[in-house]
């Protein structure tokens, strides 16, 4: 590497990819590491709109089949078709990775060049399997023809960046919070202790999906409105990590605290439909009447047009008829052919039908709107019987209705109880069934008709109703009908009638609100208690203790003096305080520890990689094309921020 070339730095994270030149202050390109392929049939209309945002004219000329990262205009619409090259934190889908590289190189101005002349710094996962690195090297060297590549670990690059800004530190415990994984990385004497690194397979992705699940189950009605994008926003902006989870939980359990701190999120809703629902019955009626008038108008207009047409037609036919009567046969024949009429009889019949039609329309009185059905319905409404005041009658109805409701409720309860074994109701049912069966048996055994009198009384048959597990028999049907009837009458006469199960008088907007309360601490807590999402892995605090125990007491002390937090999920409020608490619990009494945070959780890895690319010995960290050809595709050069190279054992 004689002449220092610009280095392309790619922080290839599973959530977001950051790309830029090493001599710039911040990445030129940041995008979600996903791609989608729009469906063929929609593409024709969709393409002109979607490529509007693309700055390169090339993208506009050749309709991009595949949309990557920021080109995806509406990520929620294609959520089901989103593809990522990642599986957890390692790359497994090479087709997609190639498409993403195409996108990166196009955007960075390599369009149309045969090969890429600049060296590349690329981040990868901790202990990235050799197979994956091999594929990556092959892709970069063979497909894109790059001169050299340097693989590094994002968390270590971030640590480099931190040291570069402050002072060199030889020992540290780095905790890297990623999108799909969380790593605890011990560094001793400036060297990565790869064999003692541990990975918790919980990350931002799990937090977001957990919140999605919780919200969708809490509000099954708004299933579709609760989208991943919205949940991401909630997690990014409002979730925090509780310093004392149990204590904060118990606070949420108190109703006063809940009322005070609950956050209500308004989902978009259509106010037009909402006002429709709020219209009073009168307004609705008015609207309906208007609509009927308009329809009538349209019908009248159409009839008028038809009438005019018919009259013209009749005029023509009458002329023809006159021709015939005036014995102008030749002309008549010609005209008939012109009108496509066979002979005289046909003409006559046509004339008669048309004139009939005209007569019919004219005879009809200018249509007056019929009394609306609503009016009829009201007429049909039963009225209070003679001699009883309406109020009394309504009160009676009301009490009857209550009785019915009660009966319904008891029946339902009975059914529920019968559904479970060991309840009194279920046992009673079994007893009745067995007595019924026994009496039947006895009759059979005797061989003679021994009538026990069952069925003489109509009420005897009720026993079957009682043992019927599903009580929706004729009785409850009749009850339901009666109930409906009562409710109709009551709601007609009584303005204040509220049938209980109607939606309470609440604005429609409030129905579209999500209550976001305990979730703000509950969701990120899965980092510390993965058992909440059914993962058997140790939580973060337990994991840190586990990793520390792999070292001697002195080494532990050296490391905990520089606990360094980095990665996107480190942005949660309260994380540092929580970890301080956990360290206090796990470290020996009166021992020291200190926790540092990266300056920019999401960008520091990229910046650190830039720092390293600018150093004089950067050339030694590069795996060059020559190395690739000489040592095979899985080889890479180790450096301060890289994985360790362990060749795959030979057969």
Binding site for other proteins (CB under 8 A): 90, 125-129, 183, 194-195, 197-201, 210, 213-214, 217-218, 220, 246, 249-250, 252-253, 420, 518-519, 522, 529-539, 542-543, 546, 644, 646, 648-649, 651
The distance of closest approach from Cβ of residue 241 to other proteins in the complex, given in angstroms and rounded to an integer, is 14
* 217 vs 433, beta carbon nearer other proteins: 217
* 130 vs 398, beta carbon nearer other proteins: 130
Tokens of 478: 């009749």
* 208 vs 336, beta carbon nearer other proteins: 208
The distance of closest approach from Cβ of residue 88 to other proteins in the complex, given in angstroms and rounded to an integer, is 9
The distance of closest approach from Cβ of residue 609 to other proteins in the complex, given in angstroms and rounded to an integer, is 22
Q: How far is CA 423 from CA 88, 167, 193, 417, 469, in A?
A: 50, 73, 62, 6, 14
Tokens of 623: 């795996």
Asked if residues 175 and 184 have their Cβ atoms less than 8 Å apart, the reply is: yes
* 138 vs 537, beta carbon nearer other proteins: 537
The distance of closest approach from Cβ of residue 416 to other proteins in the complex, given in angstroms and rounded to an integer, is 8
Q: Write out the DSSP string of 130-145.
A: HHHHHHHHHIIIIIS-
Rounded distance, CA 56 to CA 120, Å?
A: 23
The distance of closest approach from Cβ of residue 194 to other proteins in the complex, given in angstroms and rounded to an integer, is 5
Asked if residues 35 and 100 have their Cβ atoms less than 8 Å apart, the reply is: yes
Asked if residues 597 and 573 have their Cβ atoms less than 8 Å apart, the reply is: no
Rounded distance, CA 211 to CA 540, Å?
A: 19
Q: How far apart are the first and last CA of the chain?
A: 35
Rounded distance, CA 463 to CA 561, Å?
A: 79
The distance of closest approach from Cβ of residue 183 to other proteins in the complex, given in angstroms and rounded to an integer, is 8
* 300 vs 531, beta carbon nearer other proteins: 531
* 455 vs 534, beta carbon nearer other proteins: 534
Of 265, 205, 206, the residue nearest 238 (C-alpha): 265
The distance of closest approach from Cβ of residue 195 to other proteins in the complex, given in angstroms and rounded to an integer, is 4
Report the run of H or E that residue 191 belongs to, with start and end: strand 191-192
* 217 vs 337, beta carbon nearer other proteins: 217
Strand partners, 624: 148
Where does residue 637 rank: exposed (0-12), middle (13-18), buried (19+ CB within 10 A)? Answer: middle
Asked if residues 47 and 27 have their Cβ atoms less than 8 Å apart, the reply is: no
* 258 vs 493, beta carbon nearer other proteins: 258
The distance of closest approach from Cβ of residue 531 to other proteins in the complex, given in angstroms and rounded to an integer, is 3
């Amino acid at each position: 590497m004689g002449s220092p070339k610009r280095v392309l730095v790619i922080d290839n994270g599973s959530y977001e990819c950051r790309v830029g030149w090493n001599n710039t202050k911040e990445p030129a390109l940041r995008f979600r590491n996903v791609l989608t392929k729009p469906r063929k049939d929609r593409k024709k209309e969709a393409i002109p709109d979607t490529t509007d945002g693309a700055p390169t004219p090339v993208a506009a000329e050749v309709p991009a089949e595949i949309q990557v990262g920021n080109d995806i205009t509406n990520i929620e619409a294609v959520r089901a078709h989103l593809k990522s090259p990642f599986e957890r934190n390692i790359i497994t889908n090479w087709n997609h990775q190639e498409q993403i590289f195409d996108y990166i190189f196009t955007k960075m101005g390599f369009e149309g060049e045969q090969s890429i002349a600049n060296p590349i710094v690329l981040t990868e996962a901790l202990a990235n399997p050799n197979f994956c690195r091999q594929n990556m090297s092959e892709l970069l060297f063979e497909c894109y023809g790059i001169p050299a590549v340097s693989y590094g670990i994002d968390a270590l690059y971030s640590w480099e960046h931190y040291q570069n800004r402050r002072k060199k530190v030889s020992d540290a415990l780095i905790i890297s919070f990623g999108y799909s994984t969380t790593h605890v990385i011990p560094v001793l004497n400036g060297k990565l202790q790869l064999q003692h690194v541990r990975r918790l397979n919980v990350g931002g992705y799990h937090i977001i999906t957990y919140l999605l699940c919780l919200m969708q189950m809490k509000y099954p009605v708004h299933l579709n409105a609760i989208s991943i994008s919205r949940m991401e926003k909630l997690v990014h902006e409002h979730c925090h990590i509780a310093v004392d989870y149990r204590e904060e939980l118990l606070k949420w359990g108190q109703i006063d605290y809940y009322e005070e701190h609950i956050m209500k999120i308004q989902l978009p809703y259509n106010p037009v439909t909402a006002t429709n629902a709020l219209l009073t019955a009168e307004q609705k009626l008015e609207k309906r009447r208007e609509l009927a008038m308009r329809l009538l108008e349209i019908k009248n207009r159409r009839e008028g047009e038809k009438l005019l047409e018919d009259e013209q037609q009749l005029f023509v036919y009458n002329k023809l008829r006159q021709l015939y009567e005036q014995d102008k046969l030749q002309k008549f024949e010609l005209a008939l052919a012109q009108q496509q009429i066979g002979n005289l009889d046909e003409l006559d019949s046509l004339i008669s039908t048309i004139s009939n039609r005209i007569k019919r329309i004219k005879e009809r009185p200018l249509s007056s709107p019929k009394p609306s059905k609503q009016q009829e319905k009201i007429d049909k409404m039963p009225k209070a019987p003679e001699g009883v005041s309406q109020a009394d009658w309504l009160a009676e109805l009301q009490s009857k209705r209550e009785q019915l409701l009660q009966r319904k409720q008891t029946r339902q309860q009975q059914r529920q109880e019968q559904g479970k074994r060991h309840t009194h109701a279920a046992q009673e049912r079994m007893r009745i069934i067995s007595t019924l069966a026994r009496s039947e048996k006895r009759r059979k055994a005797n061989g003679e008709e021994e009538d026990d009198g069952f069925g003489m009384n109509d009420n005897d048959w009720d026993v079957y109703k009682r043992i019927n597990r599903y009580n929706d028999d004729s009785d409850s049907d009749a009850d339901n009908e009666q109930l409906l009837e009562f409710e109709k009458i009551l709601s007609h006469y009584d303005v204040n009638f509220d049938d209980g199960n109607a939606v309470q008088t609440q604005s429609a907007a409030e129905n579209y609100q999500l209550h976001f309360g305990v979730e703000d601490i509950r969701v990120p807590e899965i980092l510390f208690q993965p058992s909440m999402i059914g993962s058997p892995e140790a939580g973060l605090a337990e994991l840190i203790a586990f990793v520390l125990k792999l070292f001697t007491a002195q080494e532990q002390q050296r490391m905990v003096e520089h606990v360094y937090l980095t990665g996107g999920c480190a942005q949660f409020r309260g994380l540092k305080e929580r970890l301080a608490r956990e360290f206090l619990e796990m470290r020996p009494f009166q021992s020291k520890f200190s926790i540092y945070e990266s300056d920019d959780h999401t960008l520091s890895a990229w910046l650190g990689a830039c720092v390293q690319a600018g150093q004089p010995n950067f050339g030694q960290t590069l795996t060059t094309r020559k190395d690739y050809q000489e040592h095979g595709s899985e080889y890479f050069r180790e450096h301060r921020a890289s994985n360790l190279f362990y060749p795959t054992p030979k057969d």
